[in-house]
C-alpha cells in the first residue's frame, strides 16, 4: 500500500527509453496502456486480486530491457532439448522477447493460415493487429496487463480463415537468458480462428541459464463459430524467474476452447485465464496443474464469464505443494442475467506434502440467472492413507507409493493435453518433481493406449 508512485515508476522507468521509437500503428495503444499503467498502483496484498500473492520483492527492483546480444549467443544445440522432437509442428522460437527466425520453422501454408511473428505481421497484415489488439483483454485495472500493453516487444499473430484446420500443432517456444539484472521479456499474441477452423497451440517457457528474467505475456484469442482451439501452456522456467501471463479468450457460438496450464517453474508464476462465453452453446474447458517445491509461489487465476445461453464451462485445477512452496487458486465463474441454461463447474484440489507448504484457494461464483447448473468445490488434503496402505500391502515401497499417488493426483490434468509428445515431455519432468522413478514413460504411453482403446 505504502509503495508509492515513485516505487512504481522506478520499477519500469528503464523500460521507457528503448520504446520511445514505436511503430506508429500500435503507438496509440501503447501510449494508452502507459497512461493507464501510471495510474495503476503496484499490486499489494491489500488488493483483493493479489490477496495471497506477495510481489513486494519485485517492487523494489527495477526492470531492465532484455538484451538482444544475449539472445544472439544462443547455439542450436541449446535450443534443441526444448523442442518436441517427435512431433511435426510449426515452431516459433523467441529468446528474451526477440524472435529468432533461424531457430524457428514455419511450414509452408496455404493463404488461409497465417502464422507470423508480431513485428512481421504488423507490416504484412496490419489490419488484423489493428482489429484485435487490446480488444479481447478487458481485464482493466491490471498492472501487468498495462505493463505489457505499454512495453510489449514481440509476439505471434495466428489467423485461420473459415473452415480450415491447421493440421500440425503450433509450438511457441520462449527461452530466457538472464544476466546480472532483472530482465524483462514481453510478448503480445493474437490468435484468431475463423468459423469452423481448428488448431492446437502449445506454448512452453524455459530458461537457458539460472538468472532472473521477468516474462510478461498477454494473449488475445477469438474462436469464431464452431471453431476449436486446444491450447497448452507449460511454465518450466528456472526458480529465479518471474512469470506473469494472461490468456484472454472470446468464444463465439458453438466454439470450443481448451486450456491446460502446467506450472513447475519460476520463483513466482501467475497465470490468468479469462474466458468470455459470448456465443450460444460455446464450451470452455480449463485445466491447471501447479506443482511447487522449494520456495516457489504459484498463482492461478481464472475468470469465466457466461454471457450467452446454453454455454458450458469446466475448470479443474490441481495443486501439489512441497517444501515451502505456496499455491494460490483464485477462480471465478460469473453468470450474467441472460445466460440461462449455463452449465459451469469449477474444482480446485490441493495436496500439501510438507509442513511449511501453504495453499490458499478462492473458488468464487457470481450468479445472476436462475436456470443454470453451477457447482464448485475445493479441497486441501494429503495423500489418501488407505490408498497408500493398499499400495504398500501390494509390495510397493512407501516412497514409490507416495510418488505414484502424487502422480495419479496430477494425472487427469496431464491427460487433458491431447499431444502425446507434450505429455511425454512432461512426464519426465514430473518424475523428477515427484520423487523416485517408479515406472517408465513407455508404460504410461502403452497403458494410455489400453485405456483409450478399452483393450
Q: Tell which positions 310-349 bind another protein, by CB under 8 A.
A: 337, 340
The helix (run of H) or strand (run of E) holding residue 79 is helix 76-79
Cell numbers of 140, please?
Answer: 482493466
What track of x and - describes contact with another protein for positions 228 through 267 (by CB under 8 A)?
----------------------------------------
Between 16 and 408, name the residue whose CB sits nearer to another protein: 408
Between 114 and 391, name the residue whose CB sits nearer to another protein: 391
| Three-class secondary structure of residue 287 per DSSP | strand
- Of positions 29, 144, 409, 425, contacts another protein by CB under 8 A: 409
- Of positions 269, 361, 416, 421, contacts another protein by CB under 8 A: 361
Q: Tell which positions 91-110 bind another protein, by CB under 8 A.
A: none
Smallest distance from another protein to CB 420, Å: 16
Task: Report the Cα 76 to chain-centroid distance in Å.
Answer: 25
Minimal CA–CA distance to 444: which of 411, 417, 416, 395? 411
Across 247-257, b (16+ Cβ under 10 Å) vs e yields: bbbbbbbbbbb
d(C-alpha 100, C-alpha 71), whole Å: 8
d(C-alpha 384, C-alpha 335), whole Å: 35
Q: Tell which positions 150-209 bind another protein, by CB under 8 A.
A: none
Minimal CA–CA distance to 211: which of 300, 96, 62, 92? 96
- Of positions 389, 418, 432, 436, contacts another protein by CB under 8 A: 389
Between 158 and 404, name the residue whose CB sits nearer to another protein: 404
> Is 141 near another protein (CB under 8 A)?
no
> Is 365 near another protein (CB under 8 A)?
yes
> Is 398 near another protein (CB under 8 A)?
yes
By CB under 8 A, how many residues form the interface with another protein? 72
Query: Phi/psi at 342 (nearest 5 deg)?
Result: -70, 140
Map grid coordinates 489400453 to a residue: 450
Smallest distance from another protein to CB 350, Å: 7
- Of positions 32, 369, 431, 435, contacts another protein by CB under 8 A: 369
Smallest distance from another protein to CB 52, Å: 8
User: Are 348 and 317 spatial neighbours (Cβ–Cβ below 8 Å)?
Assistant: yes
Amino acid at each position: 500500500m505504502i509503495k508509492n508512485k515513485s516505487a512504481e515508476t522506478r520499477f519500469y522507468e528503464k523500460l521507457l527509453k528503448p520504446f520511445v521509437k514505436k511503430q506508429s500503428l500500435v503507438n496509440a495503444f501503447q501510449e494508452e496502456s502507459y497512461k493507464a499503467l501510471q495510474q495503476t498502483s503496484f499490486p499489494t496484498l491489500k488488493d483483493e486480486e493479489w490477496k495471497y500473492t506477495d510481489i513486494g520483492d519485485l517492487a523494489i527492483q527495477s526492470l531492465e530491457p532484455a538484451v538482444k546480444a544475449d539472445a544472439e549467443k544462443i547455439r542450436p544445440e541449446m535450443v534443441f532439448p526444448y523442442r518436441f522432437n517427435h512431433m511435426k509442428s510449426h515452431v516459433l522460437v523467441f529468446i528474451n522477447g526477440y524472435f529468432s527466425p533461424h531457430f524457428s520453422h514455419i511450414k509452408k501454408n496455404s493463404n488461409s493460415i497465417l502464422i507470423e511473428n508480431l513485428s512481421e505481421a504488423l507490416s504484412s497484415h496490419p489490419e488484423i493487429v489493428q482489429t484485435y489488439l487490446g480488444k479481447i483483454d478487458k481485464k482493466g485495472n491490471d498492472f501487468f496487463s498495462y505493463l505489457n500493453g505499454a512495453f510489449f516487444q514481440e509476439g505471434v499473430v495466428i489467423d485461420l480463415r473459415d473452415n480450415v484446420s491447421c493440421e500440425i500443432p503450433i509450438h511457441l517456444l520462449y527461452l530466457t537468458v538472464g544476466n546480472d539484472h532483472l530482465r524483462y521479456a514481453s510478448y503480445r499474441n493474437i490468435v484468431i480462428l475463423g468459423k469452423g477452423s481448428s488448431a492446437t497451440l502449445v506454448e512452453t517457457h524455459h530458461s537457458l541459464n539460472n538468472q532472473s528474467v521477468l516474462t510478461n505475456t498477454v494473449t488475445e484469442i477469438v474462436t469464431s463459430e464452431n471453431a476449436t482451439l486446444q491450447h497448452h501452456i507449460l511454465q518450466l522456467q528456472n526458480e529465479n524467474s518471474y512469470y506473469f501471463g494472461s490468456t484472454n479468450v472470446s468464444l463465439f457460438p458453438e466454439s470450443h476452447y481448451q486450456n491446460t496450464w502446467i506450472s513447475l517453474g519460476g520463483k513466482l508464476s501467475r497465470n490468468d485465464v479469462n474466458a468470455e462465453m459470448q456465443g450460444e452453446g460455446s464450451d470452455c474447458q480449463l485445466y491447471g496443474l501447479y506443482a511447487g517445491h522449494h520456495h516457489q509461489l504459484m498463482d492461478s487465476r481464472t475468470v469465466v464469464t457466461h454471457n450467452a445461453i446454453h454455454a458450458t464451462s469446466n475448470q479443474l485445477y490441481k495443486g501439489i505443494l512441497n517444501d515451502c512452496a505456496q499455491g494460490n487458486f483464485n477462480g471465478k465463474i460469473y453468470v450474467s442475467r441472460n445466460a440461462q441454461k449455463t452449465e459451469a463447474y469449477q474444482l480446485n484440489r490441493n495436496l500439501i506434502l510438507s509442513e511449511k507448504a501453504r495453499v490458499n484457494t478462492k473458488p468464487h461464483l457470481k450468479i445472476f440467472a436462475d436456470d443454470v447448473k453451477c457447482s464448485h468445490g475445493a479441497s486441501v488434503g494429503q495423500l489418501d492413507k488407505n490408498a497408500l496402505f493398499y499400495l504398500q500391502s501390494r509390495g510397493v515401497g512407501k516412497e514409490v507409493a507416495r510418488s505414484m499417488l502424487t502422480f495419479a493426483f496430477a494425472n487427469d490434468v496431464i491427460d487433458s493435453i491431447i499431444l502425446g509428445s507434450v505429455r511425454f515431455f512432461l512426464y519426465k519432468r514430473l518424475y523428477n518433481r515427484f520423487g523416485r522413478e517408479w515406472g517408465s514413460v513407455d508404460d504410461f504411453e502403452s497403458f494410455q493406449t489400453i485405456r483409450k482403446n478399452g483393450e
